[in-house]
Structures are given as structure tokens and as C-alpha cells.
Structure 1
Amino acid sequence: MRVLVAGATGVIGRRLVPLLTAVGHEVVGLSRTPDPRVPGVVADALDRDATIRAVCEVAPDAVVHLLTAIPKTINPRKLSSDFALTNRLRTEGTRNLIDAAPGARFIAQGLAYAYDPAEGLADEDAPLWRDPPAQYAPVVRALTDLERQTAEAGGLVLRFGHLTGPGSVYADDGSTTQAVRAGKMPIVGDGGSVLSFTDSHDAATAIVAALDRDVTGALNVVDDTPIRFRDWLPAYAAKLGAPEPKRVPAWLARLAVGSFGVAYLTRLRGADNSRARLCLNWRPRRAAMLEETA
């Protein structure tokens, strides 16, 4: 199968390309600038005409959409501007890629931590955040649009959790790891957010599995060990040899990180991976995040 990977040099893409090649697929990358690590075509996915020309040249049997433009360090108070380009890639970019390869298998990257806050783990039938903080609202709208377009194209959205592995914010040089090491990440309020992680290798194996199955809709691709933020952060700090995290009341944290920053640390809902395990015959193979080396 000829597979076009849009975002082949990202956190997931760099793990996906060698796996696809190993199982016999022909891989072509799509990027804005040439990259010697991945043979491919050059086009800005937001340039509709250029994207259609490039993708038609490849004539892929499948398209994997992993395009994002997320800053290495995110300012919660400026989330809407930090994610503006990523939101466009999830809306305009998705439309361009789908229109450029009609009939191709289409798999797109979604999020498993954008569910409406509620008790218990969310399955795929749970709604995305219906009344999110103002800074997060454009992100949820873009995700909703990406999922709608993908469904109309008969494709599949893989909702990944908080990505770990090389190049992620949890890598040794990642922004979250650095903040924890510096003692700059506190437990806010009750620290009630439930975190579902996805190792980038596990994300890649789920994509490989999905290419061989006629599965549509959306699937949660997360690990088996959701954990409360208030439990995860002290354990992660101890693993890194970092200072014990401070506790900060929500009202005080809101002054520094805004309503989204507080919601991110107190209200996120974890995700259930049962459907992905069943539909893709997929299992997360990497150890839980706290058992891995950062």
C-alpha cells in the first residue's frame, strides 16, 4: 500500500514511518520543506492547489493526517493563538487532504483529552467538551470539524492521549519535564484531572493496525493506566529527582495560567481504550509512563 504521511517528522510520524516500511508499505511524506529523513513531496497543507498537485502526484492508497504546529512550550493564557495554525491544519488542512485523495483510506489524529468533563473514563460516544474555557473553545471546534470531515469521508480518527516519547513535552528535554524538574508545576486545587497517556510508538502501531481494517468513526488510543494529576505529578517529580510539587488554590492559579490552565489541571477526563483494543486488535505495548525513563 502506498501511504502518504502528512506530518512524517513529528512525534508520532518519526515512529510511524519505519514501522510502515518494515511491514511492506511504500511511505511518502508530505511537508512544507524538504526533509532528507523521509522521501516525499513538498507542499503547505493550507495551500489547497499545491496540496492537491502534490498528493495527486503520489496517488496514495491511504493518507495519514498527523499535521500540527504546536509550540514546544505552551502558554495556557494564549492557547487560542498558540493553536491557531494547528486549528487551521485540522480544518482547512483536513479538507485539502481529503479532496486531494478521494477514495483513499483516511486516518487522522484526534485528542482523547477533549471530552466533556464527567466522572469515569470516556468512551468514544461521550461528547467532546460542550462548554470549554474560552481559550480552548477554538481547539474543540477544530477537532469537531476534523472529526466531521473524516467521518463524511469514511475515515477514522484516532484519539490519542497525552503523547510521550522522543520529541514530546514529556521527553527528557520536553517543556513539561523541565517545568517539573524546576519545581514550576504545582498541584492546582484538587488536582482532579485524569490523565490518559499514549506513547508515540503505541500511537504508531495503532495507525499501522488501522490501515489494514475497515474501521470508521473514532477510537481512543491510550494506555491502560489513567491516573489523577494529583497522584501523577508527585510520582513523576520523585522519579526525576525534582522538588516535591507545591499545592496552589485554584483561584490563585487562575491569575497565572487562566481558566484553561486551571481546567487542564483539575477537570480533564480520562479515556477508555476498550473499543480500540477490540476493533484494531491493538494493545499498548509500552510500560506506563511512570515506569519508563523520561
Structure 2
Amino acid sequence: MRVLVAGATGVIGSRMVPLLAAVGHDVLGLVRPGRDTAALTAAGAEPVVADALDRDGLRRAVRRAAPDAVVHMLTAIPAEIDPKRLARDFAPTNRLRTEGTANLIDAAAGARIISQGLAYAYQPSEGLADEDAPLWRTGTPKQFVPVLEALVHLERLTTLAGGLVLRLGHLYGPGSIYAADGSFVRQVRAGKVPLVGGGNSVFSFTHADDVATAVAAALDKPDVTGVLNIVDDRPVPLREWLPELAAALGAPAPKKAPAALARLAVGSWGVAFMNGLRGADNARARLRLDWRPRYASAIEGLAAEAADGKAGAV
């Protein structure tokens, strides 16, 4: 199958391209004009040069490439995010999720679409959210509103095209903020990540390799459409995994911070991120895709990443 990966050089794409090539797909990698394509070619992909926000140029390039499937993993998320200015920091990604999605679907000319969504945009509530649970419509932090609106738009366009949305958890693995050299891990090492308001957010994590294997599984099952949570088996509260990560890094134990005080520093989204998120259930993806995550929980996965980071530093 000819598979075009949009976002082929990102955290997910850099893990996905070689896997899809290894299992026998003809992989095409979308890259913007002026970008170096050597690494993409070395990973086993044929570069397709176009800007996802240039509707006409993208249509010409993609239709020449004639993919059977398009995997939309485009984001433009900065390496460090200011939670008080989340809307600003996510503006380029929001545009890729709205305008970029529309352009890709138009250019794909009937090819199957697989898009990236988020599994931590569910309305906060008790228990884990399955795919039928409502998204965060009540009491949504102001900075998260445009992010959610863009996600809803992406999902609507993808599902109307008969495609599949993979709702991902907090992404970790090489190149992510949770990698050994990532911004979040650097803050943990410096003792700058507190347990806000009890650390009650339940985190569903997704390793970049798990996204790659989920896409590979989905490509083999063209009848699977709609939305699926691609997350680990055992979501855990921040108050559990953050101390474990700090210990694995040899970092100071996280301090506690009242939500009211933290709001002054990180805003309502920062507090919600640390204290209000709902975890997601992956049972439907396990059943429909016959897919399994690499690590059952983030406690195992983040510890392994930390150990790899230490080994790499020796």
C-alpha cells in the first residue's frame, strides 16, 4: 500500500516511517519546501514536497504521489509550552488541524484518512473515558478552548471522509517533552514540577512507537473508522507517576502546591492539566485493531525512558 505520512519528520513520524516501510508499505513522507529530505529518504520514505497549508500546491503534489492512505500527524507544537499562553503556542497546530486537515482530505482524492486526535480532551469526570464520553464542553479552561475547537473540527472532517481518528494520550518517547532531554524532564530534574492541588489528573500516556504500531494495524483493517483511544492500559494519577519519575531520574521529590497559588503561575489550564484531567480507556482499540501498547503504564514506560537516557549519557 502507498502510504503518505504527513508529519513524517516529527516525534511520531520518525518512528512510524521506518516501521511502515519494514512491514512492506511504500511510504511517502510529506515535507515542506526547503526542508532537508536526506533523513526521510534514509528511513525508507519517498519525499513529497509541499506545504499542507498551500491547498493548490498540496493537491498537485499528493495527487501526483497517488497514495492509498494518508496519515495526518501534522503538528507545530513548540518544545516548551507556556500553559498561561496555550492558545498562542498551539495556534499553528490548530491551523494544521483545521485548514491543514481540509487540504489533506481534498488532496487525498478518496484515499483513506487516519488523523491524530487527543485522548485527554474528555469532560472531567469519574472513571476512564471511552470514545462515547463527551468532550470537554463545560468549565473548559479558556486557553484550551481553541485547541478543543480545532480538534473537534479535525474529527468531524476525518469521520465525514470515512476515516479514523486516533485519540492519543500524553506523547512520550524520543524527541518528546518526556524524553531524557525533553523540557518536562529537565524541569523535573530541577525540582520545578510540583503536585498541584493533590496531583489528581489521571494521565493516559502514549509512546510514539505505540502510535506507529496502531497506524500499522489500522492500515490492515480498512473497515475500522470513527475514533479510537490509543493509550496505555493503566492510566495513573499525576500524584503516582510524577514521584516515580523523579526517583528514576535521581531528582528531588516533587513539592506540593495549592491550586489557588499555582493558578497565578500557570493559569487555569496549567491547574487543570495537573489536577483535573480524565484518563481514557483503550479497550475498543485493543479489540478492533488487535493492538497492544508497548508498556502497560507510564510508570513502567517513563522509568524505561529514564534508564535509556542515563545509559546514553554514560
TM over 0.5: yes
**Alignment map for 1:267-286 (pairs within 5 Å):** 267-286=276-295
Q: How far apart, CA to CA, are the structure 1 residues paired with 2:36 and 2:134?
A: 39
Deviation at 1:36, TM superposition (A): 1.1
**Is 1:228 aligned to 2:237, yes or no?**
yes
- Please report how far the alpha carbon of residue 287 of structure 1 lies from its aligned counterpart in structure 2 after TM superposition: 5.3
Contact 1:4 1:29 in 2 (8 A): yes
Matches within 5 A, 1:1-294: 1-32=1-32, 33-38=35-40, 39-131=46-138, 132-213=140-221, 214-286=223-295, 288-291=297-300, 292-294=304-306
Q: In structure 1, give the amino acid aligned to 2:286.
A: R
Describe the SS at the equivalent of 2:39: coil
CA distance in structure 1 between the partners assigned to 2:299 and 2:182 by the alignment: 15
| Deviation, structure 1 residue 293 | 2.8
The one-letter code sitting in structure 2 at the alignment partner of 1:116 is Q
Report deviation, 1:127: 1.2
Give 3-state SS (helix, strand or coil) of 1:136's partner: helix
Q: What is the SS of the residue equivalent to 2:242?
A: helix
- Tell me how far apart the structure 1 counterparts of residues 286 and 170 of structure 2 sit (CA, whole Å): 18
Check whether the contact 2:234–2:296 (CA below 8 A) recurs between aligned residues. no
SS at match of 2:94: helix
Structure 1 match to 2:312: none
Structure 1 counterpart SS, 2:175: coil
- State the TM-score, normalizing by the size of structure 2: 0.92
Paired position in structure 1 for 2:309: none
1:53, CA displacement in angstroms? 1.1
Deviation of the 1:288 alpha carbon: 3.1
- Shift in Å, 1:243: 0.5
Cα-to-partner distance string for 1:34-72 (whole Å, 9 max, x where unaligned) = 421223111110111111111111010000000000000
Shift of 1:285: 2.4
- Does the C-alpha gap of structure 1 residues 109 and 180 become closer, same or farther in structure 2, counting only changes over 3 Å? same
Q: How many residues align?
A: 294
* Superposed displacement of residue 249, structure 1: 0.3
**Aligned to 1:92, what secondary structure does the other structure show?**
helix
Structure 2 gap ranges (5+): 41-45, 307-314
Q: Which amino acid aligns with 1:271?
A: A
Instruction: Write the distance in 2 (CA, Å) between the matches of 1:36 and 1:207.
Output: 24
The answer as to whether partners of 1:120 and 1:270 remain within 8 angstroms in 2 is yes
Is this contact kept in 2: 1:34–1:42, CA < 8 A?
A: no
Length-normalised TM-score, structure 1: 0.98
Which amino acid in the other structure matches residue 110 of structure 2? G
Q: Which amino acid aligns with 2:77?
A: I
1:157-195 per-residue CA deviation (whole Å, 9 max, x = no partner) reads: 001111111001110000110110000000000211000
SS in 1 for 2:38: coil
1:289 Cα shift?
Answer: 2.9
Query: Residue 135 of structure 1 aligns to a residue in which SS?
Result: helix
Judge which range, 81-90 or 125-134, deviates more. Answer: 125-134
Runs of 4+ in 1 over 6 A off after TM superposition: none
Q: Secondary structure at the match of 2:127?
A: coil
Distance in 1, Cα, partners of 2:147 & 2:31: 22
2:43 paired residue number: none
Letter in 1 for 2:52: A
* Separation in 1, partners of 2:36, 2:70: 19
Q: Distance in 1 between matches of 2:264 and 2:94?
A: 26
Shift of 1:231: 1.2
What stretches of structure 1 of length at least 5 have no aligned partner?
none
Deviations 1:109-134 (A, max 9, x none): 11111111000000000111103111
